[in-house]
Amino acid sequence: MQATARMASVVSSTLPARRRLIRSVRPTTQRPAVSDHWVAVIPRDPEYVPSSSQAKAALAYLRELATESDEVTFTTDDRILFRDCGENLESISCPICSAALDQDWWSDRMAEDHDGLGFYLRPIRLPCCGGDASLNQLLYSFDQGFSRFILQAMNPNIGRLDDQQVARLSDLLGAPLRVIYQHI
Ligand SMILES: [Zn+2]
């Protein structure tokens, strides 16, 4: 139980930190060769935090949708954290000119925007077209994003949420959402 609780908080951290943590916390006796996946929803506005009753209602609904999950949880952080898609990340591109962005360039910008606890999402000059965009405005495939609040189901085995389910979660949380499918 303690290990799964820690795993949930691990998802909120940056990618390199998360990988280190997962190696250190994953019990060797628990499904060592099987990968895990999460379905997570975050507000499109990184600063948005729903009320406690909104979060609990959305949690109850996601539990109904994903009854086979290992666990369904929500967390709120004081700072804006990176919500990554793990091994599902295939490409990053410019929201202005659609050019592909180099992942090493992106990693350097991630490090610059992070102070050890959270992200600022400051405007960044893009190398492709010279436009400005924050890390949260770049186009990620699979999608990933930044937020203080996250609601997630671990190993739900439900595939993708459909539009109606996302709309319902959005209504319950009171904000437009981003859906993140994380695979590690
Ligand atoms: Zn561009």
Whether 35 has a pLDDT exceeding 70, the answer reads yes
- What is the pLDDT averaged over residues 40-59? 98
Two tokens, residue 148: 């203080």
Q: State the CATH architecture for 2-25+35-89+142-183.
A: 2-Layer Sandwich (3.30)
Note the pLDDT of residue 2.
40
Please give the residue that has the higher pLDDT: either 32 or 80: 80
Which residues is 40 bridged to in the sheet?
Answer: 152, 180
Beta strands in the chain (DSSP E): 37-43, 71-83, 91-93, 124-125, 132-133, 139-141, 145-154, 177-183
Give the pLDDT band of residue 139 (cuts 50, 70, 90): very high
CA of 151 to the centre of ligand 1 (A): 31
CA of 131 to the centre of ligand 1 (A): 6
Q: Which residues, other chains included, contact 65 with Cβ-Cβ below 8 Å and sequence gap of 6+? A: 153, 156, 158, 161, 165
Please give the residue that has the higher pLDDT: either 6 or 173: 173
CA of 134 to the centre of ligand 1 (A): 12
CA of 101 to the centre of ligand 1 (A): 8
Whether 33 has a pLDDT exceeding 80, the answer reads no
Note the pLDDT of residue 34.
75
CA of 177 to the centre of ligand 1 (A): 25
Residue 30, classed as helix, strand or coil, is coil
By C-alpha distance, which of 19, 51, 55 is closest to 152?
A: 55
CA of 133 to the centre of ligand 1 (A): 9
Q: Look up the pTM and report it.
A: 0.81
Kind of pairing between the strands at 145-154 and 37-43: antiparallel
Q: What is the pLDDT of residues 76-126, one digit of tens each?
A: 999 999 999 999 999 999 999 999 999 999 999 999 999 999 999 999 999
CA of 110 to the centre of ligand 1 (A): 17
- What is the pLDDT averaged over residues 51-78? 97
CA of 161 to the centre of ligand 1 (A): 30
| Residue 32 to residues 24, 69, 181, Cα–Cα distance (Å) | 13, 18, 21
Ranges of each domain in the chain:
2-25+35-89+142-183
Please give the residue that has the higher pLDDT: either 29 or 44: 44
Q: Quick one: what percent of the chain has pLDDT higher than 70?
A: 82
By C-alpha distance, which of 96, 170, 171 is closest to 179?
A: 170
Q: Give the dihedral sign, CA 100/83/11/160.
A: negative
Q: Is the peptide bond before 146 cis (omega within 30 degrees of 0)?
A: no
CA of 97 to the centre of ligand 1 (A): 4
DSSP tag of 117: S
Give the number of C-alpha atoms closer than 13 A to the C-alpha of residue 107, restricted to the C-beta side: 6
